[in-house]
Structure 1
């Protein structure tokens, strides 16, 4: 039925069709069958993440079509004259290949040797030369980029396709993991937009269509649907029409010595909230198929989520609260100046430092300094103890576990957790993004399972697409994840066709900290994302639902706003004179 519906939408002339199918439902197979039903002798272009290229080629050939992997311009040229059915599979990294980058930093001589410094402000950098070469970074002191453009080594395949092949050469473009092309100005988003215009018709595949905010959908829908492009040339108009806004009025009264010297000042502030208007479904339903995993696998085992809020030990809490108060003062001053330059770093420090008790943390800026004095390396804080309890409980039941962590570089926790597991006789495997290539990760995980690994410790973005992790039926989120796309994709890696054991997902967080606030904020986005796809859920993570990520967390840290969840309230230091909030409004009147 899913294939028939997509074929019907494309045959009646829709520029795009959407397959929003939950992880593990077989989107690749359904897309290939849709293409072949649409045109049994057609040629089709697939744009996908690099580690999924072999899978696409393999499954296309299993359905009786020829598959060609495009790696160089000569591969594109060789397509001329080739008859279908043919699938040309292109990695999005090769498609967008343009100017590259290389690290940009200075070196300063010290007693210990040469150390990297920012080329703009001269501040010493907390990264090695190897770390600077691994990923693009910015100076934490002045915000200047620590990288520069490098000339491309060869022509991008996006340009080679448009230069060497006539328009209409491919019957259909298939965008795998389409939500990853939602960025308005990202290289891969612009490449996808160009290919969609060039190909004519597009089939968009995603396990998570909606990221929680209407603005997440705007650029993707603008590129796919002509009516959105014509009616909403800008993002703000689209969000006003289909999103949720919160408008807050603040009224300030100043009274002088006489009646005529009284002054009243009213200001309003509007911001986007998680959620989506049902009106948007009128654009999606005629050209979309929404598919849940139970629709195609009725005998799946149960899937359950639980949130575990922990109290810090007394010494741990005293050290953290001192650090948090100092962070809050810096955030308060930054917000008062209208600056968001430091907020990301402040929020990350506030969220991750509770878990790195053995590590010194210093946040320095002209606005102030926050210092966390490390506790003894032998100290096992409450979350570490609970993690060990969960993993040991699951091990006694013969179940392996995945542990998702955010701190893998500056606040590296992978090695720490591995040592803790080793102390208890638990064999842990650490999967680092820079150690195992994406296309080799599935085989690497299988080898670790054969070698007796009981726990897989990894950043969620390393395994969010293309991996089946049914050998690990227990999933522990050691730290919050901001992205709904990553959260939903990674949480469901274990709950897939072939799973025979109940899947348990555990979210760990410290009570009355930004970790708890972060869970509340991401829960609101997750609930909105699921609602768009027809799943209205209660319980699990969604009971924590509140509002949006970094700015709201920074305001909570600064005491500039009030967040309530699970009985915990972050209060502002000075309450507003009058405040009115609505969950979904476009205009708002303040009653006197």
Structure 2
């Protein structure tokens, strides 16, 4: 018996087309050089934000003009002309489409996260690409009130939704998206909390099917630098919580050669040998969907099975202390010690507690409260004795 299915995190390194890589590299170099020169001249105020935003967006927004024009400048620092024709798709979009087709063909649903949902909106383009391929794709907007978002999702699912597109901030807390067992981050942003919460919207007790999470990024672009920084932030955040297991984004981190990194690696290697690996994510890195290996996935027990187990254990007695004895214990064929322990744990957690009847007991109601004891008087210090606490 398993409470949770397998959880896979895969880092996807998208290789740009040669023409795309050349144009994006030239654009990024132009605006970064302009920012450096402006800062040397003392007029670089407010340039870092617009420049970095344009550099990160360039590879994803290359289907249209990408203009880097800060407020305090008379003319743009750089302009990236469209890389592809309006009816063509970019390499990362092709991966998105391939993944969506595979998910639907396997009877699974895909949840796509993008941080570009406002001025640089990409949700409409992603939806159009998927719909033209015959897929039912819906977009969850921020205009949908928080209190009805869960019902909104259930309504579109009942209407035949196969792919859901939204900003991860909209669903990172408060929603259980069990139906979407495949998750694709087209971009991650900079918040570790948002990424960690949004990536586990469907991986929780009650989920029976394996959950797959993909993080896509273009190679040889500023996106890779941002993804590496995000991976390091998540690694440090997990280590602070005592979790040293690898994540899918760990593949975006280059090996550290400094002394601090070496010491941390030694500590992690020691702790890794003594910890429980049962719920570790299955991680890896790919550059195309054909390299994705799903052979080690496993499912979890259904909620009906868990409920039947709890009902069968209602008559048992559960104490506050759980003791597990494994020496000289025989396990029936097809079962493991973990199965027995899980059943006992579930019975203890979900066993209904008897209602208190203290208010119905006449003996207890008529019993008098014992008189309070007066505190004993403090002894007086003896003659010639210095009381330091007087």
TM-score by length of 1: 0.41
Q: Which residue of 2 aligns with 1:129?
A: none
Encode CA deviations 1:295-322: one digit per residue, 9 max, x unaligned.
xx95200111011111111222222122
Please say if 1:314 is aligned against 2:18: yes
- Tell me: CA distance 1:483–1:539, structure 2 relative to 1, closer, same or farther (3 Å): closer
Encode CA deviations 1:76-112: one digit per residue, 9 max, x unaligned.
xxxxxxxxxxxxxxxxxxxxxxxxxxxxxxxxxxxxx
Runs of at least 5 residues in structure 2 that lack an aligned partner in the other structure: 262-390
Q: Which residue of 2 aligns with 1:372?
A: 80
Residues 529-540 of structure 1: pairs in structure 2 closer than 5 A: 529-540=237-248
Q: Which residue of 1 aligns with 2:124?
A: 415
Q: Which residue of 2 aligns with 1:330?
A: 34
Q: Secondary structure at the match of 1:461?
A: helix
Encode CA deviations 1:355-387: one digit per residue, 9 max, x unaligned.
112221211354962111013111211111111
Q: Which residue of 1 aligns with 2:184?
A: 476
- Tell me: CA distance 1:298–1:533, structure 2 relative to 1, closer, same or farther (3 Å): farther
Equivalent position to 1:361, from 62, 66, 87: 66
Q: Would the aligned equivalents of 2:138 and 2:163 in 1 still touch at CA under 8 Å?
A: yes
Q: Would the aligned equivalents of 1:544 and 1:566 in 2 still touch at CA under 8 Å?
A: no
| Structure 1 position 331, deviation (Å) | 2.9
Encode CA deviations 1:480-502: one digit per residue, 9 max, x unaligned.
32100111111111111111111
Q: Would the aligned equivalents of 1:300 and 1:497 in 2 still touch at CA under 8 Å?
A: yes
Q: State the Cα RMSD in Å.
A: 2.3
Equivalent position to 1:438, from 146, 153, 158: 146
Q: Which residue of 1 aligns with 2:337?
A: none
Equivalent position to 2:210, from 497, 502, 526: 502
Distance, in Å, in 1 between the alignment partners of 2:255 and 2:109 is: 30
- Tell me: CA distance 1:421–1:524, structure 2 relative to 1, closer, same or farther (3 Å): same
Distance, in Å, in 2 between the alignment partners of 1:326 and 1:492 is: 39
Q: Which residue of 1 aligns with 2:372?
A: none
Q: Would the aligned equivalents of 2:25 and 2:221 in 1 still touch at CA under 8 Å?
A: no
Please say if 1:387 is aligned against 2:113: no
Which protein is bigger by CA-based radius of gyration?
2
Q: Would the aligned equivalents of 1:510 and 1:516 in 2 still touch at CA under 8 Å?
A: yes
Equivalent position to 2:3, from 285, 295, 299: 299
Q: Secondary structure at the match of 1:504?
A: strand
The aligned length equals 256
Q: Secondary structure at the match of 2:138?
A: strand
Q: Would the aligned equivalents of 1:383 and 1:508 in 2 still touch at CA under 8 Å?
A: yes
Q: Would the aligned equivalents of 2:140 and 2:164 in 1 still touch at CA under 8 Å?
A: yes
Which of the pair has the greater relative contact order for Cα pairs under 8 Å at 6+ separation? Answer: 2
Distance, in Å, in 2 between the alignment partners of 1:368 and 1:410 is: 17
Distance, in Å, in 2 between the alignment partners of 1:348 and 1:301 is: 37
Encode CA deviations 1:134-170: one digit per residue, 9 max, x unaligned.
xxxxxxxxxxxxxxxxxxxxxxxxxxxxxxxxxxxxx
Please say if 1:397 is aligned against 2:106: yes
Encode CA deviations 1:419-472: one digit per residue, 9 max, x unaligned.
1001111001100102x1000100000111111101110000011110001110
TM-score by length of 2: 0.62
| Structure 1 position 330, deviation (Å) | 2.3
Q: Which residue of 2 aligns with 1:348?
A: 53
- Tell me: CA distance 1:521–1:446, structure 2 relative to 1, closer, same or farther (3 Å): same
Residues 433-472 of structure 1: pairs in structure 2 closer than 5 A: 433-434=142-143, 436-472=144-180
- Tell me: CA distance 1:566–1:510, structure 2 relative to 1, closer, same or farther (3 Å): farther
Q: Secondary structure at the match of 1:354?
A: coil
